[in-house]
Amino acid sequence: MAIQGKTMIIALLACFAFQICFSSDAIFYESFEDSFEGRWIVSEKDEYNGVWKLSKSEGHDDHGLLVSEKARKYAIVKELDDVLNLKDKTIVLQFEVRLQNGLECGGAYLKYLRPQDAGWKAKEFDNDSPYAIMFGPDKCGSTNKVHFILKHKNPKNGEYVEHHLKSPPSVPSDKLTHVYTAILTPDNEVRILVDGEEKKKANFLSSDDFEPALIPAKTIPDPNDKKPEDWDERAKIPDADAVKPDDWDEDAPMEIEDEEAVKPEGWLDDEPEEVDDPEATKPEDWDDEEDGEFEAPKIDNPKCETAPGCGEWKKPMKKNPAYKGKWHAPLIDNPNYKGIWKPQDIPNPDYFEIEKPDFEPIAAIGIEIWTMQDGILFDNILIAADEKVAESYRQTAWKPKFDVEKEKEMAEEAAAGSSDGLSDFKKKIFDLLYKIADLPFLSAYNPKIIELIEKGEKQPNITIGILVSVVIVILTVLFRIVFGGKKRPVINNAEATTVAPESSNNQGSGEEKEDEKEKDDAAAPPRRRVSRRDN
């Protein structure tokens, strides 16, 4: 009994030292140290043919749930013991993901599902299964973000709308284990942490933080309003009283010969610019009947290299000072200009006001993704009601693994040399570039900037060039904004109001199928006769 008492004391001390006692406060926790079979339900739908496996994280004895095959759709779900109400309380959602083979195109996020009375079954879990929150990494093409999407019910029309967090954090560009945390608080805030560091804070009711806003606009454009036939949107019109000047010659050419030009001294009039290659010989398999008479390929005439020119000399062309082009009447202000027409605003029938989001309850956790990569490892999925609980798991379950992986990565980079891999400094630079690419005023250029950044990640030796290119794009956009703006048009008398944007049904590029392309075998071209080279 004394030995058992000492053992219990040691266990309690260890629990206190590592703060694991908080685990008793976890609402849900999955470490995947034991087999997931029988506890997690794999979707039986045909399109979800990706195989889930219980696997050790590379370099660790710690297990996780592994995406084992490339280019597959995966779906698996775990029902909670009790339905979780998110209203008027702090809720922390946290999980780890390790992209052991990187992530070029795919999702690695979780879906927190509503109760099954919303119309879904565990064995039929798919993209259409109703969720309350979607959270986690997604990267493909220009998409590079840690999603946070809230599905919220409009109390006026009963429709569920996806509300996407604006300017979410980027996905870390390495193959280490990272921990993602979303903290929902009773004061309507959500905070997104990556590896314990706050990357984003947002207010659920702010139109600046979510797209579309949870609270719709009070007014919307009248869908039945039509532009009057006599509405004139032309700010400028040709001057009807203008007359073409008598000396305006529309037929004068843009360029004329330079009559003052003189042929350079030493010009070789009798020498062609190209001559037969003296080293060319007819191939042994050349058939005159089939291939025609053999002609040696042409090369630049070596005599022309030291001369100012060869062949027939012609006077160069110059700009015609008399050229004016086609005459057009100058533009003047349009006296009938009424501005750019827009429909009249009417009260929004779906408008409502709330003081707090009407969160849907959570009854299950699901992973439903489409990805081109294998090696994605999910681990330590946690739901807690206390930030300290989530922090304790980060310190005891994630941090030791990450430190080992980081140390190994740094050692490999040092051994391979800076030219063979991204240094820690370069990774910070690329993470910063991804954040810059997500700035609202660069939205039109986001795909191009992302393409440049990804090229730099794959080819570290051109990092400086990538940085210069991105800076040039940003400066160009700023220049256009400052100096290229047009005069704001006058609008009709309708009051300017904010229009509620339409809801997006996209749940991330990881769920979008790539277009399949068929390639026809090109027929081999017939042998061509070697002839004069095209100028």
Which pLDDT tens digit goes with each residue over 206-245? 999 999 999 999 999 999 999 999 999 999 999 999 999 9
Backbone CA torsion sign across 368, 373, 378, 383: negative
Residue 483: its pLDDT value, please? 61
pLDDT at residue number 421: 46
Q: What is the DSSP letter of 326?
A: S
- Would you say residue 316 has pLDDT above 70? yes
Q: What is the reported pTM?
A: 0.65
Q: How confident is the model at residue 527 (pLDDT cuts 50, 70, 90)?
A: very low
Closest by CA to 497, choosing from 337, 338, 343, 349, is: 343
Distance CA 81, CA 86 (A): 15
Q: Percentage of the chain surpassing pLDDT 90?
A: 66
- Which tens digits make up the pLDDT trace of 134-188? 999 999 988 999 999 999 999 999 999 999 999 999 999 899 999 999 999 999 9
- What pLDDT, on a 0 to 100 scale, did the predictor assign at position 464? 66
Find residue 205's DSSP bridge partners.
none
Q: Is 426 helix (H, G, I), strand (E, B) or coil?
A: helix
Stronger pLDDT, 509 or 371, i.e. the higher one: 371
Sorting pLDDT into bands at 50, 70 and 90, what band is 511? very low
Single-letter amino acid code for the residue at 400:
P
Q: At what angle do helices 463-483 and 446-458 cross, to 10 degrees?
A: 170
Helix (H) or strand (E) holding 464: helix 463-483
Q: What is the CATH number of domain 26-221+356-404?
A: 2.60.120.200
Residues in the chain: 535
Residue 205 has pLDDT above 70, yes or no: yes
